[in-house]
Amino acid sequence: MELRSGDAGGSSSAAAAVGGEGLRVFTLRPRRSLARSIGLPIAALAIPVLAAEIWLIDSSEALPVMAATAAVVLSVVFVAWVGYRRANASISRYGIVERGFFGGVSTVAARDVAGVLRVQLYRTNSLDTTQELFVVERTGRGAFRMRGRFWDEPTMNQVAEVLGVDETVGAEPMTLAELREANPRLLYWFERRSLTR
């Protein structure tokens, strides 16, 4: 088994059969640095809530309320951590199996994949861009998406090669509105409508 690690959280590939090359499956994981960048703001938000409870509630009543609040916050953090650790995408020449953050599993057969599209999207209210990868089905619908905030470039580079399909790279960066106008079927349902209209 070959194991690669880094900020991407690691990817591994292994032959599924003994003798011969077998089926090579690449398991891709989101950046592991996300735990720090998301966990620290959550902790920074929880501390003022607990402090406000101490200040607003009489000291004799504060302990049960604080304990309940702390238990809820810790439960949410634990569930989020487990979801984050389990999130991955397994890619082989036969397709993609994605286990999402909320535990849902989706599959895309390689025979349904038309190609891979990579674009640079401008971040909201910024000139900075982030790389986005879309696995596009033959129907034109986005079947699998990798956002640059969650996946690193070396991990994205493996997708088209493993699937054995062509990769198209957008020549110019674009905004979400431009992508929505050009090909809304690539986007999530909540991104297909503009809030400004």
Confidence of residue 190 (pLDDT cuts 50, 70, 90): confident
Q: Give the list of residues 6+ apart from residue 86 with CB closer than 8 angstroms, or none.
A: 99, 103
pLDDT of residue 31: 75
User: Residue 83: how many CA atoms within 13 Å on its side-chain side?
Assistant: 12
pLDDT tens digit string along 49-89? 777 777 777 666 667 877 887 788 788 878 888 888 888 89
- 197 has a pLDDT exceeding 70: no
| Kind plus residue range of the DSSP H or E element containing 13 | strand 11-15
